[in-house]
Homo-oligomer: A and B are copies of this chain.
Amino acid sequence: MCPRQHSLVDLSKSPGAEHLRDVLDAYMVEHGMRATEQRRLIIDTFMAAEPHVSIDELLGQVRQKDARIGYATVYRTLKMLAECGIAHERHFDDGFARYELASTESHHDHLICTACGRIVEFEEPQIEDLQLAVADRYGFVVTHHRHELYGLCADCRPGETKASTDP
C-alpha cells in the first residue's frame, strides 16, 4: 500500500457503506464477476470521492494511483455499480453523466448552481406527496422522477456584495 497519507474523510467506513459492499460482493459473485485490481481501485476511489462525480473526474482521481486505467473500465465499473443499485446515475444539464453513492436515507432531489456548478441535495416529502397526487389525478403510476432546480447558490447570487457592473 502507498503510505502516502491518511485520508481525512473515509466514506467507505461511514454507516451504510459496509452494507453496500456486501450488496456489491453478492452481486459480483452472482454474476461470476472477478475482483480485479482496477475494479477495487475504481470502487474505493468512487466511495471516497465527493458525491456526483463524473466519469472523467473519477478517472482523473483513479489515475493518480494507477495511470494505466482506461476510461472504458471506469465507465463499465460505474455502470455495474448503478446496475446493482449501489450508485445512481444522474444527468444534469451539463451534458455528461454523474454518479452518486446510493444512500441509505430516503430519496432526494437536487439544486444545481448554474454559476459554480455546486450541487446540493434536498428532500421535501410534501413535494413527493404532491407528485403522487398529481400522477393519480392523471391516472399515472409513477416509477421514478426527475426534479432539478437550477439557479444561483448563496455564494454566486448577486447582492452579497454589490458592485457587479462590468465594463
Which residue of chain B is the closest to A111 with respect to CB atoms? Answer: B140
Contacts known (A151-B141, A154-B139); A111 close to B134, Cβ less than 8 A: yes
How many A residues face the partner with a CB closer than 8 A? 32
CA distance A153 to B135 in the complex (A): 9
A145 to chain B, nearest CB (A): 5
Complex: chain B residue closest to A135, CB-CB:
B149
CB-CB under 8 A from A114, the residues of chain B are 143
In the bound complex, how far is the Cα of B147 from the Cα of A140, in angstroms? 15
Closest residue on chain B to residue A147 by CB atoms: B147
Q: List 17 A-B residue pairs with CB atoms under 8 Å apart, sorted by A's residue number.
A: A111-B135, A122-B134, A122-B138, A126-B130, A127-B127, A127-B134, A131-B149, A138-B153, A139-B157, A140-B151, A142-B149, A143-B150, A143-B151, A143-B152, A146-B146, A146-B150, A147-B147
